[in-house]
């Protein structure tokens, strides 16, 4: 059985295999973005971008 479900990463927007990332509710973050997020310092200029992307999930969810 070879089923390759692809998910759209909410951070980079790329299609990645669903088993190579992190699923949050109905959203998906690919493995490389997940790694980057873990390594991103809160003082890093990228951090607000991630927070913004994450917040969109909850806004969408609670809308």
Nearer to Zn ion, 15 or 61 (CB): 15
Q: Which residues bind Zn ion (CB under 5 A)?
A: 9, 11-12, 30, 33
User: 43 is written with which tokens?
Assistant: 């003082």
Give the shortest CB-42-to-Zn ion separation in angstroms. Answer: 20
CA dist 24 and 55 (Å) reads 12
Give the shortest CB-1-to-Zn ion separation in angstroms. Answer: 26
- Spatial contact of 21 and 30, defined as CB atoms under 8 Å apart: yes
Give the shortest CB-21-to-Zn ion separation in angstroms. Answer: 7
């Amino acid at each position: 059985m070879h089923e390759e479900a692809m998910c759209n990463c909410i951070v980079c927007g790329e299609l990645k295999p669903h088993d190579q990332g992190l699923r949050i509710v109905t959203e998906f973050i690919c493995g490389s973005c997940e790694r980057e997020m873990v390594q991103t310092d809160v003082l890093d200029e990228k951090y607000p971008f991630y927070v913004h992307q994450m917040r969109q999930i909850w806004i969408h969810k609670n809308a």
